[in-house]
Structure 1
Amino acid sequence: MITITILTLCFLAALSCKIKKAHSPVLQVLLWYLHLFFGCFAGLCLLLMLNNYGFKGTQTERIFFTLYAGTGMLLYGLTKPDNDARYAYLLCFFGFPFVLLLGLLIPPLRTITLVAAITFLSDSEFQRYNIDDDYALQTKTTNILSTYPAYSLVEDKYLFFEKITPDVVTPRTTLHSLKMLKRGQDSVWIRLNNRDTVIALGN
């Protein structure tokens, strides 16, 4: 719920600033620096995710994306109305909840909007089971979208990063019992709910 909580607080703060016509040049400059900072990390996270990499931690990327969007909302609340591209850019962050609400009210778009809202706003549940110091089996559960967790192999990489290999266990099933045994340096044996799987490990 951290994503919805942060974005809700930022949205309400931005709405309050708009209603009160608050204006603070110093705070606005500081927020722009923070917004650009989180924007750079959000862009880096996106590039890493496209290549099955990520920062260490299960929710790190989502936090960067959330803070990027949240600071955009706050900046909109402190920015005077204008017709320039920067104001339109900030309006996209503040207007996102209204777009979702409009989509939910229009029957043909309701399903697509609901899936998009869950994807962007719902925090998945993660659990990691260590294989050794460098590898772990990760389960990711998004209860509304799927009743079964997705299984990924997580490999420690380059100090601050990790490589994530998705869908290493198929078919998906609820985890009841788990046993793992590393075989040499190139594979790991997994018994998941009395079903055996061998996963190859990277170099």
Structure 2
Amino acid sequence: MLTITILSLAYLTAISFRIKRVKFPVLELLTWNIHIVFIILAALTLLLMINGYGFKGAQTDRVILTLYAASGLFLYGLSKPEINARYYYLAGLFAFPFVLLVGIILPFTRMFTIMVALSLYGDSDYHRYKIDDDFALETKSTGILTQYPVYSMVEDKYWLFEKVTPEVINPKAFPRAIKLTKRGNDSVRIQFISSKGGTFNLDTIMSLKQGYLQ
């Protein structure tokens, strides 16, 4: 609920500023500087995601994108109506949820819009299971969008970044717990503990160079 909470507070603040016609040039300039920083971070985040990388931490990328949008909404509340690209850009950020609302109302775009809205505003449930100092197994569940968790291999990379390789295994199970036991330099034993207390084992070989299970 972190994403929707932050964005909801940003929306309410922006609406309040617009109603009261708040004029605070110093705060607006400071927020613009902060927003520009988040624009750069958001662009870098998207570029990394396209190439299978991300900032360290399961939710770091989502937090960056959320704060980017939230700072834009905050700026929209502080900005006065003008005919320029900056104002239309901020207005577009503010209007985007209303576009989704229209898409939900229209029958032929409803399903697609719901999936987009859940992906953008719904927080996924992440769990990471450490293998060693460089590798971890991550499970990701996104509400009704995933019947089973997506199992990804997370590899520590380049100080601030990590490489995420999704769907390294596909057991089609929603385990209560996972136990990892490293065997040698390139092998890990994965033990799934089911919700009913039973277990089933999966022995795999991990390629440390490529960061996925074979």
Q: Tell me the residue number matched to 1:66.
A: 66
* Matched residue, 2:204: 198
Q: What secondary structure, in the 3-state scheme, does the structure 2 residue paired with 1:144 have? A: helix
Is 1:162 paired with 2:162? yes
Spell out, residue by residue over 1:86-111, the C-alpha distance to the aligned partner (whole angstroms, 9 max, x if none): 11100111101211111111111111
Q: Secondary structure of the equivalent of 1:83?
A: coil
Q: For 2:153, what is the secondary structure of its paired residue?
A: strand
Q: Specify the code of the residue in structure 2 equivalent to 1:168.
A: V
Give the 3 Å change call, closer, same or farther, for CA 20–181 of structure 1 in structure 2: same
Please give the per-residue CA displacement for 1:124-164, whole angstroms capped at 9, x wherever unaligned. Answer: 01111111121111110112211311101111122211111
Q: How does 1:1-20 map to 2 (within 5 A)?
A: 1-20=1-20
- Displacement after TM superposition at 1:177 (Å): 5.0
Unaligned runs of 5+ in 1: none
Kindly report which structure 2 residues correspond to 1:140-159, keeping only aligned pairs within 5 A, or say none.
Answer: 140-159=140-159
Q: CA RMSD in A?
A: 1.4
Code of the residue aligned with 1:104 in structure 2: it is: I
Q: Distance in 1 between matches of 2:51 and 2:205?
A: 19
Partner Cα distance (1:12, 1:147) in 2: 34
Q: CA deviation at 1:201?
A: 2.6
Shift of 1:198: 1.0
- The number of residue pairs the alignment matches comes to 203
TM-score, normalising length: structure 2: 0.89
TM-score (norm 1): 0.94
- Equivalents in 2 of 1:16, 1:178: separation in Å? 47
Q: Report the Cα distance in structure 1 between the residues aligned to 2:183 and 2:102, rounded to whole angstroms.
A: 54
Percent of pairs with identical residues: 50
Quick one: which amino acid aligns to residue 7 of structure 2? L
Match in the other structure for 1:85: 85
Distance 2:2 2:178 in 1: 29
How far did residue 197 of structure 1 move?
A: 4.0
Separation in structure 2 between the aligned mates of residue 4 and residue 22 of structure 1, nearest angstrom = 24
Distance 1:160 1:199 in 2: 26
Q: Which amino acid aligns with 1:187?
A: S
Structure-2 separation of matches of 1:184 and 1:127: 24
Q: What pairs with 1:167-186 in structure 2 (closer than 5 Å)?
A: 167-186=167-186
**Superposed counterparts of 1:38-117, under 5 Å:** 38-117=38-117
Give me the whole-angstrom Cα distance separating, in 2, the residues matched to 1:59 and 1:160.
14
